[in-house]
Amino acid sequence: MRAVSSAETAPTLHPFLVHAEELRVRAGRHLAVDGLDLALKAGVHGVLGPNGAGKTTLMRALSTVIKPAGGSLTLLGTRVDGRADLREVRRGLGYLPQQFGFYPRFTVREFVEYMAWLKEMPKTAIPDAVQRAIDRVGLTAKADTRMKALSGGMLRRAGIAQAIVNDPELLLLDEPTVGLDPEQRLTFRDLLRDLGTHSCVLVSTHLIEDVVAACTDVILMHEGRLLFQSTPDDLIARGGQGDAGDSPAERGYSAILRQHRSNA
Amino acid sequence: MTHPTPLMLARYADGGRGLDDAALWSIEVHLDACGNCREGLVAHVTPATADLLDRVAVSLDRTMATSPPPARQHSQAQAVSRRWLAWTLLPWLAVTVAVLGCGVLLNFAEPSLPSLVLLLAPVAPLPGVAVVWSRRSNPVWELIATTPAAGLAMVLRRTFAVLVVVLPALLAAGVSTGTSLALSLLPCLAFTAAALVLGAFIGVRRAAVGLGAAWSTAVLVPSVAAQSLSPVLQPDSTAVWAVITVALAASTVPAAPHFHRLTSGN
Nearest to A224 by CA among A71, A89, A93, A18: A71
Residue B257's pLDDT is 87
> Which residues does chain A have within 8 Å of residue B138's beta carbon, measured at their own beta carbons?
101
B88-103: average pLDDT = 89
Cα separation, A39 vs B181, whole angstroms: 60
- Burial-class residue A241 by CB neighbours within 10 Å (0-12, 13-18, 19+): exposed
Chain B residues within 8 Å of chain A (Cβ atoms) = 67-68, 71, 82, 84, 87, 138-151, 257, 260-262
Q: Is the pLDDT of residue B123 over 90?
A: yes
Mean pLDDT of chain A: 90
Side-chain-side CA neighbours of residue B50 (13 Å)? 7
- Put simply, the answer to whether A115 touches B147 (Cβ < 8 Å) is yes
For A263, residues 6+ apart whose C-beta sits below 8 A from its C-beta are: none
Cα–Cα distances (Å) from B60 to A42, A140, A254, B55, B102, in that order, read: 36, 17, 51, 8, 65
pLDDT band at A8 (very low <50, low <70, confident <90, very high): low
Which region among A3-12, A13-22, A61-70, A90-99 has the lowest average model confidence (pLDDT)?
Answer: A3-12
Residue B58's pLDDT is 95
Which region among A1-5, A77-81, A105-109, A254-258 has the lowest average model confidence (pLDDT)?
Answer: A1-5
> Which residues does chain B have within 8 Å of residue A97's beta carbon, measured at their own beta carbons?
142-143
B194-217: average pLDDT = 94
Q: Is the pLDDT of residue B93 over 70?
A: yes
CA-based nearest distance A33→chain B, Å: 18
Out of B68, B71, B139, the one facing A102 most closely (by C-beta) is B139
CA-based nearest distance A213→chain B, Å: 28
A210-226: average pLDDT = 92
Cα separation, A118 vs A55, whole angstroms: 26
- B164: helix, coil or strand? helix
Domain ranges of chain B: 6-66, 77-259
Which has the higher per-residue pLDDT, B210 or B35?
B210
Query: Among residues of chain A, what percentage have pLDDT more than 70?
Result: 96
Residue B82's pLDDT is 62
B51-68: average pLDDT = 90
Residue B192's pLDDT is 96
Instruction: Say if residues A161 and A112 touch (Cβ distance below 8 Å).
Output: yes
Cα separation, B204 vs B215, whole angstroms: 16
CA-based nearest distance B22→chain A, Å: 29
Nearest to A211 by CA among A12, A2, A45, A23: A45
Instruction: Say if residues A232 and A205 touch (Cβ distance below 8 Å).
Output: no
Out of B82, B147, B262, the one facing A118 most closely (by C-beta) is B147
B87-107: average pLDDT = 88
Residue of chain A minimizing CA distance to B70: A131
Residue A62's pLDDT is 95
Which amino acid, one-letter code, is at A139? L
Q: Is the pLDDT of residue B262 over 90?
A: no
CA-based nearest distance A120→chain B, Å: 7
What would you report as the CA-atom Rg of chain A, rounded to the nearest whole angstrom? Answer: 19
Which region among A58-67, A131-140, B88-97 has the lowest average model confidence (pLDDT)?
Answer: B88-97
Residue of chain A minimizing CA distance to B136: A101
Full DSSP string of A41-102: -SEEEEEE--TTSSHHHHHHHHTTSS--SEEEEEETTEE-SSS---HHHHHTEEEE-SS---
Cα–Cα distances (Å) from A87 to A73, B135, B252, B266, in that order, read: 16, 20, 19, 20
Residue A263's pLDDT is 86
Q: Is the pLDDT of residue A50 over 70?
A: yes
B229-238: average pLDDT = 86
CB A203: neighbour CB atoms within 10 A? 28
Residue A12's pLDDT is 62
pLDDT band at B16 (very low <50, low <70, confident <90, very high): confident
B110-137: average pLDDT = 89
**Domains, chain A:** 43-64+91-263 (3.40.50.300)
pLDDT band at A10 (very low <50, low <70, confident <90, very high): low
CA-based nearest distance A235→chain B, Å: 32
Cα separation, A208 vs A232, whole angstroms: 10
Cα separation, A127 vs A13, whole angstroms: 30
Residue of chain A minimizing CA distance to B78: A110
Which amino acid, one-letter code, is at B45? V
Beta-sheet strands, E only, within A109-238 = 170-174, 200-204, 217-222, 225-230
- Put simply, the answer to whether A65 touches B149 (Cβ < 8 Å) is no
| Most confident residue range from A1-5, A131-135, A206-210, A260-264 | A131-135
Cα separation, A32 vs A11, whole angstroms: 33
For B103, residues 6+ apart whose C-beta sits below 8 A from its C-beta are: B116, B117, B119, B120, B173
> Which residues does chain B have within 8 Å of residue A100's beta carbon, measured at their own beta carbons?
143
A127-136: average pLDDT = 93
B110-125: average pLDDT = 89
What are the pLDDT digits (tens) for A148-192?
999 988 999 999 999 999 999 999 999 998 888 899 899 999 999
- Put simply, the answer to whether B146 touches A95 (Cβ < 8 Å) is yes
Nearest to B260 by CA among A71, A167, A81: A81
| Most confident residue range from A27-31, B150-154, B223-227, B240-244 | B240-244
Give the ipTM of the model, two decimals please: 0.86
Which has the higher per-residue pLDDT, B189 or B72?
B189
Cα–Cα distances (Å) from B185 to A139, A152, B208, in that order, read: 50, 48, 17
CA A236 to mean position of chain CA atoms: 22
B178-195: average pLDDT = 91
For A173, residues 6+ apart whose C-beta sits below 8 A from its C-beta are: A96, A160, A163, A201, A202, A203, A204
Mean pLDDT of chain B: 88
Residue A116's pLDDT is 94
Q: Is the pLDDT of residue B1 over 70?
A: no
